[in-house]
Amino acid sequence: MTEWFLCMDSENPSPEKRLEGKKILLGITGSIAAYKSVYLCRFLVKEGAEVRIIMTPSATQFVRPVTFATLSKNPVRISLAENDEWSDHVEWGLWSDAFLIAPLTANTLAKMATGMADNMLLATYLSCRSKIIVAPAMDLDMWHHPATCQNLETILSRGVMLIDVVDGELASGLQGPGRMAEPEDILEYTVKLFSNNKPLQGKSVLVTAGPTRESIDPVRYLTNHSSGKMGFALANALADAGASVQLVHGPVDEEFRLNSSIKKHPVVSAEEMLTACNYLYEKIDIAIFAAAVSDYKPEEFTMQKIKKEDGNTLVLRLKKNPDIAAELGKIKKNKLHIGFALETENEIENARKKLQTKKFDMVVLNSLADEGSGFGYDTNKVTFVEQNNILHLELKPKAEVAKDIVNYIVKKL
Ligand code: PMT
């Protein structure tokens, strides 16, 4: 092993320590790929990172903790309490600039998705506020199992980053995807994550997200099923790409894990959303309209609760809400505007109409007809519609759709 390290070091001298000053938690779970994390740990240290290791109890069956303790020059944590002392998963979680879980087994993945905390690694994951990156490793059918796919979608939708498995011969002898990425590739991914090469650095982006709520009387309102997942994922992807993000969002039920640089502006109604957007608009370069804004609101707000009366019907008169995207479209000049379209029929045609009426440069079309798409899901299947171009994308986690939109913007700029 020593010879191998010497060989690597001399062949790839790393004069500049690319992770100098970075604090990296390396989590290791019980997979045969754990041996690769020995090299990963060494590479991270060589690049100047301060590394702390957490192993799940089953990981220790594959590699002894003393190996990692020696390489990281730090004690290894396995249990929530060691030698009758609390391991302080909270401090470990808050200490890190990135929590890299490699290898990630199907078992730990499932526990991360459901929020279990029955070991030090999982409790630290739940307490961690930094970037979380996972490099899964498992056998072919475990990787393809619907439960694994769903668990992965769940954690990705919450902002966890994925270093995908690679194809090859697996421990079982089966051939296919499931091998953990090579330690060199995981290292490069980590370095890139911290590099200053942020393609949207210096750009300011306005994102609208979630539903709006239009009050009828003091106890009732009109709204829709938007959860905010798509818009919040976009805000995170933009901030990860270096943009300064202003997120104007309607009432959402979920506590989203948000990049700490994002400025949130919670609003309730479409009118309030327009006011917030108008206020922020002058200083932004790009606007993305992911909110599902109520097109109509009650003509009048009734001060007292509307009483049930005789008869089977009640007429509620509605009036049009302002169209935020169209209003800002009128003054956009050379800013980039990306809209969403949620359609149920004549999708491309309707999306193209919105390009014109709302002065969008591109419309992200999602259809309620596509399984796993639109409101509430962790996934979305979208089509990028421009006046002369159409790009159909496959069903994927909203976090990945958000990255596709960021890549589109980077190319466009
Ligand atoms: O929040 P999720 O549960 O994750 O769901 C995501 C989503 C389905 C809400 C999102 O992907 C989406 O499609 N958002 C736009 C939904 C919508 O209102 O579509 P629309 O076709 O009615 O509006 C077209 C565009 O005009 C949208 O960019 C919308 O934000 C904007 N608009 C619409 C009406 C209005 N009064 N003001 C607006 O700015």
Please name the amino acid found at residue 180. M
**Is 224 part of the annotated catalytic residue set?**
yes
CA 317 to chain centre: 40
Task: Domain 3-193: state its class.
Answer: alpha beta
Please state, in angstroms and rounded to a whole number, the distance separating the CA atoms of residues 160 and 135.
11
The two beta strands, 81-82 and 50-55, are unpaired
Do 3-193 and 204-299+313-412 share a fold? yes
pLDDT over 70 percentage in the chain: 96
Q: What count of other Cβ atoms lies within 10 Å of the Cβ of residue 194? A: 18
Q: How would residue 257 be classed by pLDDT, with cut points 50, 70 and 90? A: confident
| β-bridge partners, 53 | 26
* pLDDT at residue 83, as a whole number: 83
Ligand 1: distance of its center to the CA of 241 in Å?
23
Q: Which residues line ligand 1 (CB under 6 A)?
A: 208, 210, 226-231, 270, 289-293, 295, 321, 323-325, 339-342, 354, 358, 366, 374-376
Atom of ligand 1 nearest to the CA of 358: 26
Asked if 290 and 250 count as a contact pair (C-beta separation under 8 A), the reply is no
Index of the ligand 1 atom closest to the CA of residue 225: 3
Q: Find, among 127, 131, 135, 117, the residue nearest to 91 by Cα.
A: 127
Instruction: Return all residues near 283 (Cβ < 8 A) that are at least 6 apart.
Output: 204
User: Omega of the bond prior to 218 within 30 degrees of 0, cis?
Assistant: no
Q: What is the pLDDT of residue 195?
A: 79
Domain boundaries of the chain, sorted by first residue: 3-193, 204-299+313-412
HSE-up (13 A, CA, CB side) for residue 49? 29
Bin 214: left if φ > 0, else alpha if -120 < ψ < 50, else beta: beta
Pocket test for ligand 1, best of 153, 206, 226 (most atoms within 8 A of CB): 226
DSSP assignment string, 336-350: EEEEEEEESSSHHHH
Q: What's the gap in Å between 233 CA and the centre of ligand 1?
A: 15
Q: Report residue 296's pLDDT band, with 50, 70 and 90 as the boundaries.
A: very high
Using alpha carbons only, how large is the chain's radius of gyration in Å?
Answer: 24
> In this predicted structure, what is the pLDDT of residue 8?
38
Determine the residue of 293, 330, 344, 348 to mutate for testing ligand 1's pocket, defined as the one with the most ligand atoms within 8 A of the Cβ atom. Answer: 293
Q: Give the separation between CA 66 and CA 69, rounded to whole angstroms.
A: 5
When pLDDT is cut at 50, 70 and 90, the band that residue 15 belongs to is low
With bands split at pLDDT 50, 70 and 90, how would you rate the model's confidence at 1? Answer: very low
Could you give the CA distance from residue 259 to residue 238 in angstroms, rounded to a whole number?
10
CA 294 – ligand 1 centroid, Å: 9
Tell me what the pLDDT averaged over the chain comes to: 93
Q: Which CATH number fits domain 204-299+313-412: 1.10.490.130, 3.20.20.70, 1.20.120.1200, 3.40.50.10300?
A: 3.40.50.10300
Residue 327 near residue 248 (C-beta atoms within 8 A): no
Ligand 1 pocket: which of 296, 338, 342, 400 to mutate (most atoms within 8 A of CB): 342
How many of the other CB atoms lie within 10 Å of CB of 44? 26
Contact 102, 29 (CB under 8 A): no
Which residue has the CA at smallest separation from atom 18 of ligand 1? 292
Asked if residue 170 lies in contact with residue 176, where contact means CB atoms within 8 angstroms, the answer is yes
For the chain, percent of residues with pLDDT exceeding 90: 82
356: Cα within 13 Å, side-chain hemisphere: 7
**Atom 5, ligand 1: which residue's CA is nearest?**
375
Give the least confident one: 1-15, 286-300, 345-359: 1-15
- Which residues have CB under 8 Å from 263's CB, separation 6+? 244, 245, 246, 247
Contact 78, 56 (CB under 8 A): yes
Query: Tens digits of per-residue pLDDT, 77-104?
Result: 999 998 888 888 989 999 999 999 999 9
40-44, 93-97, 221-225, range with the lowest pLDDT = 93-97
Average pLDDT over residues 53-59: 98
pLDDT digits (tens, 9 = 90+) for 340-370: 999 888 999 999 999 999 999 999 999 888 8
175 burial via Cβ count (<10 Å: 0-12, 13-18, 19+): exposed
In this structure, how many other beta carbons lie within 10 angstroms of the beta carbon of residue 102? 27
Ligand 1 mean position, distance from CA 156 (Å): 22
168-204 pLDDT per residue, tens? 999 989 999 999 999 999 999 999 888 766 889 899 9
The structure tokens listed for 174 are: 């089966």
Per the CB < 8 A criterion, the answer to whether 328 and 361 are in contact is no
- Give residue 286's pLDDT: 98
- The catalytic residue among 12, 74, 83, 224 is 224
d(CA 292, CA 170): 45
**pLDDT reported for residue 141:** 96
pLDDT digits (tens, 9 = 90+) for 127-166: 998 999 999 999 999 999 999 999 999 999 888 999 999 9
